[in-house]
Every structure is written in structure tokens, then in C-alpha cells.
Amino acid sequence: MNELIVIFLSMALINNFILVRYLGLCPFLGVSKELGPAVSMGIAVTFVMIIASLATWLINHYILIPFDIQYMYIIVFILVIASLVQVIELFIKKTNIALYSAFGIYLPLITTNCAVLGVTIINMMGSYTLLESLVAALGGGLGFTLVLAIMAGIREKLELADTPRAMKGAPIALITATLLGLAFFGFVGIV
Amino acid sequence: MGKFAQEFAKGLIITNPVLVLLLGLCPALAVSTSIDNALGMTLAVLIVLLGSNIIIAAMRNFVPSITRIPIFIVIIATLVTVVNLLFHAYLPDLHETLGIYLPLVVVNCIVLGRAEAFASKNPVVRSIADALGMTVGFMLALLMISLIRQMLGTGEMSVFGVHFFSLPVLSSRPVAIFILPPGGFLVIGLLLGLFKWTGVLKR
């Protein structure tokens, strides 16, 4: 149990996907302007991360390893993620229209989100068990959502602030990320 | 040949992938802690982008537009696998330091972006020019970021083990924040602001 808590905290806070590993920067700069969409995007990414970790773990252990074709992992993982996202999109569209209108537009973007492919590769390279992979995906996704939400909250206020004209938009967002990243260093001592 | 030069030159500054289009930020920040890593990443991107642009431009007339994205992704993923294995065999140290960012070239927006926006509509030669220009633009941005980060973060100036000079105060007391993750955000944020302020890059 301790192992799982350590993995969760490490993925969510200490090695945060956005601030420490630089994964998923496109949505970080793109959809972190308002709190609502930022949280929706974060939850959608977390969901896809968990499903993708489950699928890639099974494929890795029951197809790639038995046939000794682990070097194929990049092609297999990206295709699995791309098709999973399509299936999830279709499923949500047919079953829950309200959910679809909330998450739908973010799902296609998630295919090329490095955070999702990143978590599956981290799971594989760390030789995590199935449970550990799922916990790592949950931690990574929640950490991603947390930073996206914090950032959106700050940027909502920042819009009204008197920022120098040249720093408006992406530059000031990146400087804010620097300060957030420094703050997150405080978590290093947890485990 | 004029066209070739034109396609090549636009990637350098006007549509610099990292600094203007803000594509491929993940690798640009993650590997820019030292000049060696930046050059290694550039080599990987060069092979993948050149290969994918050539292949996709050559088969642009046979690819049905409805399934083009999955086809592009498979081509790119194959090239990334090749590069990953080559680096593992011939440049093991670099393979080790680039870590997960090497396989992640597959989701680097620059590669898929150029396939979709350029190579799928243009002949092979111009696509080669486009790939080379974009790679050089990527390299320039990466070198700029990594030069600042390495100089301030370690106080030393050395490339591939060849030591050039040490900065007077910084080499004994380096500003470690610059080679830590937040330093990457700081350097690129300030660079973007600087370029906007001076008007070098129009957005």
C-alpha cells in the first residue's frame, strides 16, 4: 500500500507532468484561460490516461512481451491511444449527450497529448504492475488537472492585470509557470 | 532553386516552429538543459521530419484524405522507432539522457503539423526544403534556450566534452535554477517576451 501512495504522490506532485516533466504543454497554454474548460480538459485527460494505461499494460504483457516485439511499443501505443480516444468519443456521443458537449471537443486533442503517451511509456519503463500503472495514471492525471486549474485561476486574474504589452499571452503564462514550478519544489521532501 | 531556398528560409525565423508557432515546446524545454542534449534532439527530429516529409510527399496522391491522419501517425511512429533503436545502438549515452523524450518525438506537433500542413500538399523537393528549414529553426531555438540555461546553470561552456571557457563567478556558484525545470519556463517566457518587444518576430 505504501508503494502505491508513493507512486501516486510522486506522479501527482513531485514529478508533476506539466511543471517538472514538461508533458502536455499544448493544452496547458491553450485551454488554461478559464477555469471551467481547464477542469473539463483535465478530467478528460485523466480518464483517457487511466484507460490507456490499462490497455497498454495488457497489450504489453500479453502481446508484446510473449512475442518478444517490445521494440514495436511506440507504434503500438500511439495507435492504441488514437483508437481508444475515437471509441470513447463515439461511446460518449451515443450514451451521454451532456457529457459529450462538455468533453467532446477536447477528446480529439488528447490523441496527440504527450502526457497520455508519456504515462504509458513511464509505466512500461518503470516495469509497473497493473495496479501500480493505474495508480500512476490517476496520480499523473490529477496532478495535471490540479496545475491546469491553478493556472486557469491565475490567468483569469492576469487578464485584468496591467501586463507589459510584449509579455501578454504566452510569455506571462510561462513566467507564471516558472513561479508555480518553484512552488511545487516544496513537495520534493514529501517522500 | 529559388523556391527551395524560399521554403528553407521561412522555417528559420518567420514561422520558426518553437518561437513563433509554439509547437514542440515539450522537447524544447525538456532537453534544453545542455547544448549536447539540444543537438541530440535536433538530430532525432531531423531524421524523423525529413523521412516523414519525403515519404508523405511522395505518396500524397495515393492517400485517401479521410484516413490520412492515422497513416501519417504510423509513418512517423515507424521512423521514431528506427531513430530510437539507432540511438540505443550507436549513441547509448544520449539515448539515456533523452529518456522518454525520444519516443515522444512521435507526438511532437512539429512533425505531424508539417506532414499535415505542408508535405501532404507539396512535391518531394519542396517538402525536403521545408523539413530542413523547420529543423534548422528548431535547432536555433533549442540552441538559444540551451546556451542560456547551460551558461547560467553550470557556469561552464562545453560541447561534447570539449571545454571552451568557464564564467568567472558562475562556475563556482552556478544558478542551479536554470537547469532545473522551472528555469526552462523562465528562459523561454523571457525570450518570447523579448522577441515580441523588439518586434523581431511578428505574431
Closest-CA residue of chain B to A177: B185
Residues of B with CB below 8 A from A186's CB?
none
Q: Note whether A75 contacts B: Cβ–Cβ < 8 A.
A: yes
pTM comes to 0.85
Q: Biggest alpha carbon distance in chain A? A: 60
pLDDT category of residue B1 using cuts at 50, 70 and 90: low
From A71, which residue of chain B is nearest by alpha-carbon distance?
Answer: B81
pLDDT one-digit tens code per residue, A88-117: 888 888 887 777 776 666 677 777 678 888
Q: How confident is the model at residue B89 (pLDDT cuts 50, 70, 90)?
A: very high
Residue B86 has what DSSP assignment?
H
Q: Dump pLDDT digits (tens) for A138-150.
A: 999 999 999 989 9
**A&B contacts, CB < 8 Å:** 111
Mean pLDDT, chain B, rounded, equals 84
This complex has an ipTM of 0.83
Cell of A5: 501512495
DSSP code per residue over A131-174: HHHHHHHHHHHHHHHHHHHHHHHHHHHHTTS---GGGTTHHHHH
| Span A168-190, average pLDDT | 86
The residue among A178, A130, A107 whose CA lies nearest residue B186 is A178
Q: Cell numbers of A78, please?
A: 500511439
Q: What is the mean predicted confidence (pLDDT) over B182-195? A: 88
| Contact flag A166-B194 (C-beta cutoff 8 Å) | yes
Q: From CA A79, how far away is CA A111, in angstroms rounded? A: 9
Asked if A26 lies within 8 A of B25 by C-beta distance, the reply is yes
Residue of B nearest to A178 (CA): B182
pLDDT at A105: 66
pLDDT at A72 over 70: yes
Q: Where are the beta strands (DSSP E) in chain B?
A: 156-159, 162-166
- On the 0-12 / 13-18 / 19+ scale of CB atoms within 10 A, A36 is exposed
- Are A25 and B25 a contacting pair, CB within 8 Å? yes
Residues of chain A found within 8 Å of residue B52, distances taken between Cβ atoms = none
Question: Residue A127 is which amino acid?
Answer: S
Q: Do B186 and A178 touch (CB under 8 A)?
A: yes
Q: Is A166 in Cβ contact with B193 (below 8 Å)?
A: yes
Cell numbers for B184: 526552462
- Among chain B residues, CA nearest to A172: B189
Domain ranges of chain A: 37-141
Per CB-CB distance under 8 Å, the chain B contacts of A164 are 193, 197
Q: With bands split at pLDDT 50, 70 and 90, how would you rate the model's confidence at A56? A: very high
B63 at interface of A, judged by CB pairs closer than 8 A = no
Cβ of A178 within 8 Å of Cβ of B81? The answer is no
